[in-house]
Structure 1
Amino acid sequence: MNFELHQVTRRFHGKTAVDAVSLTIPHGQMVGVIGRSGAGKSTLLRMINRLVDPSEGVIRFGDTEVSRLKGTALRRWQSDCAMIFQQFNLVPRLDVLTNVLLGRLNRRSTTSSLLGLFTREERIQAIAALERLGIEQTALQAAGTLSGGQQQRVAIARALMQEPKMLLADEPIASLDPLNAKIVMDSLRDINEREGITVITNLHTLDTARNYCERIVGMAQGRVVFDGPPDALTAEVVAAIYGTGRDGAGIDESMTSTALPASAAQAAGATPSARESSMATA
């Protein structure tokens, strides 16, 4: 099913954060949204998930008009459209396994979730999600004791527990070092390719968008100013998205690079146990 935004706008106290955005995203695409801070990227994702309501326009997923959902139907959509945040949004004092199981919150009663009354099948599913992300050994640790990269992978595992149809990631690697950024982005691409889940992710680094996303949407001042494949992201297009420096020169993409040296890239592609030992010294 296609996901569509038609003339979607959001205003905050008279200021337009997202301005008449129209996009059609086929099922299974991995889309990177780029742009300066304040370009409207996060607001756009929050409207898709309905954490923020659009001021105008229509959001549609297949035959469902997402922008009109309320109550139970809205909660169901927010489960189908999982959100991963830059700040992880875990409960630090709870163990990792419980944090992952909370991904079932919108699919069962709140009381049973808060009391920890999860089924055996749900616990097995949560452990499998942690194993997939290479952090199953942290299951009984308090989430707050993990590194930033590990916490973001816990957040991805929690999102998988929602069994989503779409995955939104709001600057998922902004606070991570290059090694952990690669591990997280590899995980998102793996989910997209193996499950065929649509992934829309806001990114602050151009090389990451080029390397991982089949489609890139560039935003400036709340509007879409570019929508195309990575190889169409020319220097002129980058200047239209980001503007120029004080001296009038174009943006130096190397300043935002998350590229790894060859040795670190090899470590990032190692087995989970090797990855964890390399991160333990980080």
Structure 2
Amino acid sequence: MQFQLTHLTRQFGSNTAVDKVTLDIPSGQMVGVIGRSGAGKSTLLRMINRLVDPTAGSIRFGDLEVSSLRGSALRNWQRDCAMIFQQFNLVPRLDVLTNVLLGRLNHRSTGLSLLGLFTREERLMAIAALERLGIEQTALQPAGTLSGGQQQRVAIARALMQSPKMILADEPIASLDPLNAKIVMDALRDINEREGITIITNLHTLDTARNYCERIIGMARGRVVFDGSPNELTAEAVHEIYGADQHGSGIDETMTSTSINISRQDNEARAIPSPGLRTLAVAEA
């Protein structure tokens, strides 16, 4: 389904965080949004998910006018448009499996959600999501005991449990080391390629955007100043997005490099499911 933003604007007092952004994103694209801190990237994603309401403009997904949704219709959109945050947003004291199962809350009745009752099928889904991300062995650990990279993979598994039509990732690798950044980005690309789910991710490194995204959107001062393929992201385009340093020179891309080496073979190996904890899921149901 076509996803459309038209003159989307968000003001905070006298500050315009996002300024008349218009974009058409076909279903199944993997899009990277880049720009300096304060360029409006996070506000843009939060408006798409409706965590922040637009001041003006519209958000449409197919025939659905997202920007006008309220109540249960808005909750359904936030289920269909899963959000992954830089700081993971897990419940540290709950075990990993339960954190993943929380992704099913908008698919369930209020009563079942309050009782915390999950079906056998839901538990199997959660285990399969953890296996896909290579962390099924952590299922019964408190989420707060995991490393940052593992926690982000739990957050991705929880997003998968929503059965989303779109995934938004707000700086998903900003706090991770290069190896874990690669694992997380490989996982997002695998979801995009295998499920055909549209992914829009804010990124702070140019090499990551080039390596993983088929389309790159550059923002500066709340506006889109670049929209094209990785090959079109020239030095001139980078200068337009990031401006110059304090000495008037262009941005040195090596300063933002994560030194991620891409390996599709590794990616495919991680995607192979293992029997893991399926029996545990059945026993717990």
State the TM-score, normalized to the length of structure 1: 0.93
The answer on whether the counterparts of 1:179 and 1:268 sit within 8 Å (CA) in structure 2 is no
- Separation in 2 of the partners of 1:121 and 1:261? 37
> Match of 1:79?
79
* Amino acid corresponding to residue 133 of structure 1 in structure 2: L
Q: How does 1:151-230 map to 2 (within 5 A)?
A: 151-230=151-230
Which letter does structure 2 place at the counterpart of 1:186?
D
- Indicate the percent of aligned positions where both proteins have the same amino acid: 79
| Aligned counterparts, 1:81-120, within 5 A | 81-120=81-120
Which residue of 1 is the match for residue 128 of structure 2? 128
CA contact (8 A) 2:186 2:267 kept: no
Instruction: Give the Cα separation in 1 of the matches to 2:238 and 2:260.
Output: 22
CA distance in 2, matches of 1:63, 1:271: 38
Q: How far apart in 1 are the matches of 2:268 and 2:31?
A: 26
Tell me how far apart the structure 2 counterparts of residues 261 and 186 of structure 1 sit (CA, whole Å): 11
Q: Runs of at least 4 residues of structure 1 off by over 6 A?
A: 265-268
Q: Secondary structure at the match of 1:59?
A: strand
Aligned length: 271
Maintained 8 Å contact 2:81/2:166: yes
Counterparts of 1:52 and 1:161 in 2: how far apart (Å)?
Answer: 23
Distance verdict in 2 for CA 1:150–1:114, change over 3 Å: farther
Alpha-carbon distance between aligned partners in 2 of 1:270 and 1:6, rounded to the nearest angstrom: 37
Structure 1: distance between partners of 2:264 and 2:164 = 31
Displacement after TM superposition at 1:269 (Å)? 5.3
Instruction: Please give the alpha-carbon distance, in whole angstroms, between the structure 2 residues aligned to 1:270 and 1:61.
Output: 31
Distance of 1:240 and 1:256 partners within structure 2 = 16
Relative to structure 1, the CA distance from residue 227 to residue 270 in structure 2 (aligned partners, 3 Å threshold; closer, same or farther) is: closer
Structure 2, unaligned runs of 5 or more: 271-285
Separation (CA, whole Å) in 2 of partners of 1:22 and 1:267: 37
Within the alignment, does 1:8 sit opposite 2:32 as a pair?
A: no
- Following superposition, the deviation at residue 116 of structure 1 comes to 2.1
1:266 Cα deviation from its structure 2 partner: 10
Amino acid corresponding to residue 121 of structure 2 in structure 1: E
Following the alignment from structure 1 to structure 2, what is the Cα–Cα distance between the partners of residues 261 and 125? 31
Q: What displacement does 1:106 show? A: 1.2
Pairwise CA distance, 1:248: 1.0
Assess if the C-alpha contact under 8 Å between 2:190 and 2:267 holds in 1. no
In the other structure, the counterpart of 1:59 is: 59
- Corresponding position of 1:23: 23
Matches of 1:260 and 1:69, distance apart in 2: 39
Structure 1 20/219 Cα, relative in aligned 2: closer, same or farther at 3 Å?
Answer: same
Which residue identity is paired with 2:68?
A: R
- Structure 1: how far apart are the matches of 2:129 and 2:197? 15
Unmatched segments (≥5 aa) in structure 1? 273-282
What is the DSSP-based 3-state SS (H/G/I as helix, E as strand, rest coil) of the residue aligned with 2:125? Answer: helix
CA contact (8 A) 2:34 2:217 kept: yes
Give the RMSD, CA atoms, in angstroms.
Answer: 1.7
- Counterpart amino acid of residue 159 in structure 1: A
> Structure 1 residues 190 and 261, CA, compared in 2 at 3 Å: closer, same or farther?
closer
The structure-2 alpha-carbon separation of the partners of 1:159 and 1:269, relative to structure 1 and needing over 3 Å to count, comes to closer
Q: Secondary structure at the match of 2:227?
A: strand
Deviation of residue 268 (structure 1)?
Answer: 6.3
